[in-house]
């Protein structure tokens, strides 16, 4: 059965993470994504992150699988001509240069849509295309900082909030960019009209915060910083809704979620703390936070008597909620992750069997695919011949002139 996006051609000039992950999502579902990389250098993402033993970069593999790679010197007229010829038959054009750079290279929306009026043109930026910072560069940490996300995390007095340690702004922006591509393609299917789609690190991270961010926009409704000084007891609802983290007997951390009164009662019973059920110190979320030290100390003492797996089983049997605070390795091996193929094994031509991300979105009739990222320029000749209409002698000449 054909994949959902088979027949969709994407010309991808993006680099690093935000744009590449968005176009990779399209490639996973069957789109033919042509990744255009700078001749001799390639996407800077090829040099980031740890390497597998034979030199395959984890960063690039995570953001560029299922694509075809072509190398082109876009500074040369014949190099730009290659892009223009490929655009004629494309459905999507994607770039995440700093705003204004694509226009200077000749690949702005007006230029590309003049060649192909039906093109869906994707732009990923740091701050959006308008406003005083519209043309400013930015990276993931800027999206985290400016969105309000880090302000909502607790740090000790006198210590400024720190980044989260992973690229949440880039990744969420990629999701939105891929979503925008699909909506625009759907609209084009109805009307035949293409359009530009843009999102930013700033917009995506603000929306990722969701209702918590929205609460700051309600008069007098500014949300509290709910992560408490011990950094492991969090109130997230007005009633007795809290989460707490603890170490079990085997030294492994777990989280207990007491979302509402019913789960709070069940948790107290499971822990042998039935006396806390009607204790006024713990009958509301606000009181729990106020008396957190007494609660955490009592819970710590109880949880230290059994291993994490023992407690997880006991909580599950009682209908209460506890979860392991996993390391990435533990998460990859978790039965739920394995069962849903969120992490899968693939046979890599250079690295042998390796674990990689499966597809986070499941289409039951057209489920997509998991593949590998291309080597630098691996498909240059094939793309030029099959999609660009270049003859063998033309390709040889372009290579001789160091255009490809």
270-292: pLDDT as tens digits: 999 999 999 999 887 778 878 88
Q: Rounded to whole angstroms, how far apart are CA atoms 17 and 21?
A: 6
Distances (CA, A) of 89 to 113, 118, 386: 12, 10, 11
Give the pLDDT band (50/70/90) at residue 221.
low
Give the pLDDT band (50/70/90) at residue 222.
low
pLDDT at 211: 82
Instruction: Please write the tens of the pLDDT for every residue from 184-214.
Output: 999 999 999 999 999 999 999 999 988 888 7
pLDDT at 49: 85
Give the pLDDT band (50/70/90) at residue 177.
very high
Instruction: Please write the tens of the pLDDT for every residue from 376-401.
Output: 999 999 999 999 999 999 999 999 99
* Lowest mean pLDDT across 46-55, 252-261, 382-391: 252-261
Alpha helices in 129-234, H assignment, sequence order: 140-146, 168-191, 201-209, 211-215
pTM to 2 decimal places: 0.84
| Positions of E strands within 73-132 | 92-95, 120-125
Is residue 258 a contact partner of residue 243, using CB atoms and an 8 Å limit? yes
Is residue 65 a contact partner of residue 24, using CB atoms and an 8 Å limit? yes
* Lowest mean pLDDT across 44-48, 67-71, 376-380: 44-48
Say whether pLDDT at 259 is over 80: no
Say whether pLDDT at 142 is over 90: no
Say whether pLDDT at 139 is over 50: yes
Give the DSSP H/E element, type plus range, for residue 142: helix 140-146
Instruction: Tell me how many degrees the CA angle 375-395-391 measures, rounded to the nearest 5.
Output: 120
Say whether pLDDT at 238 is over 70: no
Highest mean pLDDT among 125-139, 153-167, 315-329, 386-400: 386-400
Give the pLDDT band (50/70/90) at residue 68.
very high
Here the tokens at position 308 are 């994490």
Q: Distance between alpha carbon 283 and the CA centroid of its chain, in Å?
A: 38
* Domains (range + CATH), the chain: 9-208+359-400 (3.40.50.10540), 233-325 (3.30.1540.10)
Say whether pLDDT at 230 is over 60: no
Say whether pLDDT at 223 is over 60: no
* Lowest mean pLDDT across 15-29, 153-167, 224-238: 224-238
- Counted residue by residue, the chain has a size of 404
At 195 the three-state DSSP class reads strand
Distances (CA, A) of 71 to 8, 64, 79, 228: 21, 15, 9, 51
Say whether pLDDT at 234 is over 70: no
pLDDT at 380: 97
Beta strands 9-12 and 92-95 are parallel
Q: Rounded to whole angstroms, how far apart are CA atoms 197 and 177?
A: 7
Here the tokens at position 121 are 């043109």
Mean pLDDT of 346-369: 89
Of the two residues 298 and 223, the one the predictor is more confident about is: 298
pLDDT at 232: 56
Say whether pLDDT at 224 is over 60: no
Say whether pLDDT at 33 is over 50: yes
At 174 the three-state DSSP class reads helix
**For tokens 């999206």, what's the residue?**
143
pLDDT at 74: 96
3-state secondary structure 227-271: ECCCCCEEECCCCCEEEEEEECCCCCEEEEEEECHHHHHHHHHHC
Cβ atoms within 10 A of the Cβ of 387, count?
A: 20
């Amino acid at each position: 059965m054909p994949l959902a996006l088979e027949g969709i051609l994407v010309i991808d000039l993006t680099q690093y993470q935000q744009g590449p992950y968005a176009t990779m999502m399209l490639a996973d579902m069957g789109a033919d994504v042509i990744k255009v990389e700078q001749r001799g250098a390639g996407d800077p993402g090829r040099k980031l992150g740890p390497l597998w033993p034979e030199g395959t970069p984890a960063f690039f593999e995570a953001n560029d699988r299922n694509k075809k790679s072509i190398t082109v010197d876009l500074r040369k007229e014949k190099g730009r001509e290659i892009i223009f010829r490929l655009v004629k038959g494309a459905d999507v054009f994607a770039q995440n240069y700093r705003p204004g750079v694509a226009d200077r290279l000749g690949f702005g929306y007006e230029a590309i849509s003049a060649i192909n009026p039906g093109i869906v043109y994707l732009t990923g930026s740091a701050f959006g295309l308008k406003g005083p910072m519209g043309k400013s560069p930015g990276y993931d940490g800027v999206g985290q900082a400016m969105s309000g996300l880090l302000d909502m995390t607790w740090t000790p007095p006198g210590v400024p909030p720190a980044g989260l340690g992973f690229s949440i702004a880039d990744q969420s922006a990629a999701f939105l960019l891929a979503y925008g591509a699909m909506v625009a393609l759907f609209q084009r299917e109805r009307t035949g009209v293409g359009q530009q789609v843009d999102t930013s690190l700033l917009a995506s991270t603000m929306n990722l915060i969701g209702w918590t961010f929205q609460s700051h926009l309600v008069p007098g409704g500014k949300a509290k910083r709910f992560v408490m000084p011990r950094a492991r007891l969090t109130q997230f609802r007005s009633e007795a809704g809290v989460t707490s983290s603890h170490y079990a007997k085997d030294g492994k951390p777990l989280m207990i979620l007491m979302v509402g009164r019913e789960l709070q009662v069940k948790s107290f019973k499971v822990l042998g703390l039935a006396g806390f059920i009607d204790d006024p110190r713990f009958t509301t979320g606000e009181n729990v936070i106020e008396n957190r030290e007494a609660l955490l100390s009592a819970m710590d003492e109880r949880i230290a008597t059994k291993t994490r797996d023992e407690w997880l089983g006991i909580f599950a049997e009682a209908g209460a909620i506890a979860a392991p605070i996993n390391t990435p390795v533990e998460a990859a091996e978790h039965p739920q992750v394995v069962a849903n193929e969120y992490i899968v094994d693939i046979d890599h031509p250079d690295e042998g069997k390796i674990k990689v991300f499966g597809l986070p979105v499941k289409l039951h009739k057209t489920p997509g695919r998991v593949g590998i990222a291309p080597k630098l320029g691996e498909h240059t000749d094939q793309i030029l011949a099959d999609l660009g209409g270049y003859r063998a002698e033309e390709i040889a000449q372009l290579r001789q002139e160091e255009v490809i």
